[in-house]
Amino acid sequence: MERTIQPKKLFIASCLALLVTSLSFGIRAGIMNNLMVEFHLDAKQMGLIAGTAFWGFPLAIIIGGMIVDIIGMKRLLLLAFLFHLTGIIFTIFSSGFLSLYISTLFIGIANGTVEAACNPLVTSIYPNNKITKLNHFHFWFPGGIVIGTIISFGFAKINIGWEWQMAVMLIPTLIYGYLFYGLDFPETERVSSGVSTKDMYKALLTPLFIFMTICMLGTAITEIFTSQWVGVLLENVTKSAILVLALVAAVQAFGRSMAGYVVHRISPSGLLLVSAIISTIGMYLLSTLNGSSIFIGAIVFGIGVTYFWPTMLGFVAKNIPKSGALGINILGGLGTFAVSIYMFFMGGYYDNLVAVALPAGTDLDTYRSATAGTPKAAAYLHAQLIAGPQVIRVTNIIPLILVFAFLFLFIYMRAKEKKTVRASALDQSIQVE
């Protein structure tokens, strides 16, 4: 039977799948403090739970990238649907650290499987407009975070529990599962273009791919770690810390919706350089401002991280096309794995900073769970005021390093483009003669 490929419907279903992924980030960021109090978890334990999503993600995305050409994108996305459904239900009925850890792992695997299939799907159905359409697709990551944080903030205001916030995710999950089940899928771009598996793996060993992979570790930590932990890190710096995340995500969503205008006026390497510079400034502002003025830092930071993820993937898809689906999935997978490792260490670092600010020998959980208005609660809030911005200041070293890395990339790509233009002009001159 001949397959009927419907790019628009496939793209809509892909966006819904990514919406579920982003809702898991936004809602979890909003309920992290609730989970820490209800299940008596410290920041290091919460870092392990949150980080699980980020190593489950790379596990799925890298394995998915290796098998997507073999089993097809449709089967991979139906697996993502099952993992999402299982993870959400398990989270709702969690009873402590272990059950939260396992359920978050399921969600992380689902999120990675979505990216493993949808990124190559988008490049396959829009081969001549990869960077713009990847930005439009990844609009739904910050877009979903905005929706998730608003749900979390609104439900908390009217005293609806975190379990119901997680349950909201079931709606788009069921819809995207139904849509993908009924649609035909194309082959991946690498398979359809006839690039061999051997050539794909050779492309992964090129210096440019290795350089971009290393940079992806930094861009992922800059964007995702800061966004995921902002509710905890800035809880006592502003009365609406979770709305800082919503504002960052809203700025990202708006920027990605304008991607077609932006990416055709500035080169991908130039866009990455500008993004690194603005991200560095934005993180500095987040770590130094307080009260309502912190939203200025959120806007600047949001502008900075808007184009990081989709432009990194688009750059590799465009400039190292033989790396195929595995190339962009390795990039995303290792980026999120770096986030999971960083979360673990920074969770412990945050706990240490809080402990230093409290009386020696005190039990952190006693202070964290103290009744509002008591001396212990006030002391804990003061400790958070010191610790949160310090974690952001330390993390700000990463985008600063990226400024120099992307400056090098920009110079390299400009030189490469000039060399290509000169070679083309020489060929035309020889043909004329």
Q: What pLDDT, on the 0 to 100 scale, is given for residue 423? A: 61
DSSP per residue, 361-373: T--HHHHHTPPTT
Indicate if the pLDDT at residue 426 is higher than 60: no
Q: Rounded to an integer, what is the distance from CA 289 to the centroid of its chain?
A: 25
Indicate if the pLDDT at residue 231 is higher than 70: no
Q: Which residues of 228-357 form beta strands (DSSP E)?
A: none
Q: What pLDDT, on the 0 to 100 scale, is given for residue 3? A: 66
Reading the block at residue 249, the tokens are 């995500």
Reading the block at residue 420, the tokens are 């290509």
Report yes or no: 348 and 47 within 8 Å, Cβ to Cβ.
yes
Q: Please give the share of the chain, as a percent, with pLDDT higher than 70.
A: 92
CA atoms within 13 A on the CB side of 307: 28
**Confidence category of residue 142, pLDDT binned at 50, 70, 90:** confident
For residues 304 and 310, which has the higher predicted lDDT (pLDDT)? 304
Q: What pLDDT, on the 0 to 100 scale, is given for residue 243? A: 76
Indicate if the pLDDT at residue 429 is higher than 60: no
Indicate if the pLDDT at residue 313 is higher than 70: yes
Least Cα distance to 138 among 50, 21, 28, 278 occurs for: 21
CA distance 402 to 9: 37
Phi and psi for 35 in degrees, rounded to 5? Answer: -65, -40
Indicate if the pLDDT at residue 69 is higher than 60: yes
Which amino acid appears at position 222 of this protein? T
Reading the block at residue 235, the tokens are 């809880």
Q: What pLDDT, on the 0 to 100 scale, is given for residue 416? A: 87
Average pLDDT, stretch 285-310?
A: 88
**11-45 tens-digit pLDDT:** 999 999 999 988 887 787 677 777 777 777 777 77
Reading the block at residue 203, the tokens are 């492309």
What superfamily would CATH give domain 7-189+200-423? MFS general substrate transporter like domains (1.20.1250.20)
Q: DSSP class of residue 264?
A: T
DSSP per residue, 189-255: HHHHHT--HHHHHHHTTSHHHHHHHHHHHHHHIIIIIHHHHHHHHTTTTSTTHHHHHHHHHHHHHHH
Average pLDDT, stretch 306-310?
A: 90
**171-190 tens-digit pLDDT:** 999 999 999 998 988 877 67
Lowest mean pLDDT among 15-24, 199-208, 352-361, 394-403: 352-361
For residues 213 and 286, which has the higher predicted lDDT (pLDDT)? 213
Phi and psi for 188 in degrees, rounded to 5? Answer: -65, 160
User: Which pTM does this prediction carry?
Assistant: 0.77
Domain boundaries, the chain: 7-189+200-423
Average pLDDT, stretch 242-246?
A: 75
Least Cα distance to 186 among 368, 26, 7 occurs for: 7
CA distance 68 to 117: 7
For residues 422 and 4, which has the higher predicted lDDT (pLDDT)? 4
Average pLDDT, stretch 192-211?
A: 87
**359-399 tens-digit pLDDT:** 877 777 777 777 777 888 888 777 877 887 888 899 999 99
For residues 261 and 79, which has the higher predicted lDDT (pLDDT)? 79
